Amino acid sequence: MQEIDEKDRPRLFILCGVIAAVAYVAANWITTQCIAADLAYHELLPGRLYGHIYSPFAVDMWRSNKELASAIHATLAQYWMLEWGIYLLGAFCCYQVYRNMARMTSHGTADFAKAKDIEEAGLAAKETGFVVGRNPFNDKIMLHNGPEHILLVAPTRSGKGVCNMVPTGICWKHSIFFFDPKGELWNFTAAWRKHHMHQRVMKFEPLCKDGSAAKWNPLAEIDYQSFEELTDVSTISEMMVKTGEGGKDPFWENSAAALVNGVILHLLYKHDQERRVLPCPSDIMSFLSSPGMSTDMLFASMKLYPHIAKEDFLEIDGRRNILKEVYGEYIDDFRPFAKACPAFAEAVEKNEKAARAYEEALQAGREDAAPPKSNLELLRETLVQEEKRGMTFNFAAPNIKAAKNKQEIDLAIQSHPDPWYQLLVHPKVAESAANMYNGAEQTRASVMQTAQTAMAVYQDPLIRKNTAVSDFALRDLLDPSGEVSLYLVLQPNDIDKLRPILRLFVNTMLAKLVRDMKFDTKKGTAQTKKQRLLLMLDEFPQLGKLESIEKTLAICAGYGIKICIVAQSMGQLNKIYTKDNAIPGNCHVQVYFTPTLEDGGGTAKTLSDTLGEKTIHSVSKSTNGSKILESSTSTSQIGRKLMTPDEVRRMPADRELVFVAGFRSIYGKKIRYYEEEFFTKRIKPPPAFSDTFTKVQTYAQLFAVHAADLAEIKERQQRVAEARAKEEERIQKKAETQTGEENHAAEKQPSVPRPADTGTENQAAAPAHREEAQQAEPIERNEEGSQPASAQAIDDAKSHAQEPIPFAALWEESLAAWEQADAKPFSALWEESMAVWEQQKGA
């Protein structure tokens, strides 16, 4: 089976048309000249052009001239076979063109991309983009500037840095992040991006010794005292503790992460209350390893510490209770407070009555009732009122400093007369501390050991120094004021030691960058940030398993964030993320260098299968053994892989395979920057030290960083409140309009007033009205069965037809009469109502 590619059809039609035209002209001209020669170029032959040269179509004129055609009939008949032979030759040429352009499709149509395919695949960007390689047809650089993600699979020492990473650092003009485990990207690209692209160029090197790198405190990325506070803390604590290696009992890592989560929150609020600088990861380890405090005392101090001030809870002088704003009703049991304050107990009782009244009002359809207050707000108001009356409340926590063991700590807490200190404790800190404080001794020791082991890396003096404060924020990568280049630099032999920090940095960056995505409701598409961002994740599997990466790949491309994942082999990637991972499927562009046997040839086999099969002709010969000269030949179509696994493994070192979703595979060429003058003249010595951007060391700076987010949340809350108020107003107006219409309709039918409008007297009159309606003369019909026979019945029907009584009104009247008059059973009243209704309906 053969077919023509859609792209080749126009070219085929043009070529066949040209061949047909040439064959037609040639057949006529040759025939004309042969006949003229046979007739000795007789002067009576029309169509002469010059000498013995005649017009190509003169033979048609001779055939149309009856006298001339009859005179040279024998000669004309002699050359018709020549003419048709030339026509058949043209047709044969067209067929050969078709055969050459048609593809055999019975076993597959795999083929490498042509020049036009590469251009249509989006690899012909001119100004900026990811450097994929070199176009094999015109030797131009293939740049991919689309939003889609990229997967680069290249074995070690195969040149991915010199072929793709460094050239991309020179060509990509937007913001970029480099995971630079060798430091070569900083050395080769930082100067060009700083001095010629005019970008802020920052280097974070956890083990930097000379002070040339910028510092980064992960706790400065937390949206402190906001709705995102707990999410940010959870993201950081999980990455600090979890190794991403798998195969272990997750209980210990999960428990340790929950512990670190509580410690981070505790330190954030504690440092704020004590007017200290922001805590850093080293403070977490120092807190967990407090030498002068027992484990019981450590967790007891956490759950008793006042994370907000008394004035914050009472909201005095415009102060805010941030715990209430973020976590809502964060106190579960209010009985101790009711016992300690009788006024609050009375207020709670009144509030419960108000709550019941409010529910009854809602059930009755009334919207004028005021909703009850929350117990926390009621407690705050009560304490404020009682203090104005001269009452005092002791918010001090129990004194446990003198306690020597857990029993004495419990006794000090239980004997404390006032519960008010509980109102100042962070609820999530209290939960975390209580879980550890009340846990079994052996379990608690194991959890503590797991947490301390995970946090031990931050005790290194260099790491402690480089993570104490922040010289930039991760959100700077998308700052609309200008492009930013950020390098995460380390040495290859430090990867194992720094893996927790690397995982924390990359995962936090992904979480922060994609969290604030917005959609354009008018176009139904994502609103991209002003700055596009490329994340170059070299040696990605070295980071361990990042649970968020697969989800991030699926959603962030539409928001201007492009990710390039680099691995040494598919086996290395599958080992971390399993064979069913979604990473390759979410990468629109995939680049593969010549694979090795590191994964048992798995990458080569995968590439061979991905390239597909093409259909080829197979010729087989068979010879008769007894008769050597007798043989037969047969031709068939078979399938053959475009490249076998062995051919993939033997691919030249200067070639690469490129796959773009929806297009043919590209057998491209590599680029080596040191062989190209375009790149070598742009590589200069790196800057002596890193730039800085958004510095965060104090709480004031932290609030300034997240001020825009908090303002946006408040604005959204205001819009929701306004929309809700408008909807409630619309519903109220609609209800008032319906009530007015019902009252107006009731006024139009005074003969049968509704009970709700006219009271008990009209209810009593309703049965009399129904009896009068029942005594009316029945409507008679004539022989045709269509016209009423009684004039009185006609009048009655007209009077009822003018103002039909709603069925609901008749139903209410029937029920009222049934309740007042026990003489008639309900069924009789029902039949009366239905009879009146049917009369009106018929009229």
- Per-residue pLDDT of 544-601, as tens digits, reads 888 888 888 888 877 789 999 999 999 889 889 888 888 999 999 999 999 988 777 8
Q: What is the pLDDT of residue 126?
A: 83
Long-range contacts of 311-317 (CB under 8 A, 24+ apart): 312/424, 313/380, 313/423, 313/424, 314/380, 314/383, 314/384, 314/387, 315/380, 316/384
Q: What is the pLDDT of residue 44?
A: 75
Confidence check: pLDDT of 760 > 60: no
Q: Which two tokens stand for residue 161?
A: 């840095």
The token pair at 577 is 């993320």
Q: Does 770 have pLDDT greater than 60?
A: no
Nearest Cα residue to 257 out of 516, 88, 591, 503: 503
Cβ(696)–Cβ(467) under 8 Å? no
The segment with the largest mean pLDDT, out of 7-21, 197-211, 762-776, is: 197-211
Percent of the chain with pLDDT over 70: 82
What does the pLDDT read at residue 717?
83
Q: What is the pLDDT of residues 120-157, one digit of tens each?
A: 999 988 889 999 999 999 999 999 999 999 999 999 88
Q: For 65, what's the count of Cα atoms within 13 Å in the CB-facing half-sphere? A: 15
Quickly state the pLDDT bin for 522 (edges 50, 70, 90). Answer: very low
Using CB atoms within 10 A of its CB, is residue 178 exposed (0-12), middle (13-18) or buried (19+)? buried
Smallest Cα–Cα separation from 180: which of 717, 751, 690? 690
Q: Measured between alpha carbons, how far is 575 from 243 in angstroms, rounded to an integer?
A: 15
pLDDT value of position 677: 92
Could you give the percent of the chain with pLDDT greater than 90? 49
Greater model confidence, 36 or 338: 338
Task: Record the tokens describing residue 661, joined without a space.
Answer: 């979703």
Q: Is 825 left (phi over 0), alpha (psi -120 to 50) or beta?
A: beta
Tens digit of each residue's pLDDT (9 = 90 or more) over 784-841: 344 444 444 445 444 444 455 566 666 566 666 656 655 556 666 667 777 776 776 6
* pTM for the structure as a whole: 0.75
The mean pLDDT of 445-458, rounded to a whole number, is: 94
pLDDT in tens, 603-632: 899 999 999 887 766 667 766 655 555 667
In terms of pLDDT, which residue wins out, 281 or 367?
A: 281
Q: For 635-639, what is the mean pLDDT?
A: 70
What mean pLDDT is predicted for residues 667-673?
A: 94
Q: Distance between CA 519 and CA 532 in Å, rounded?
A: 16
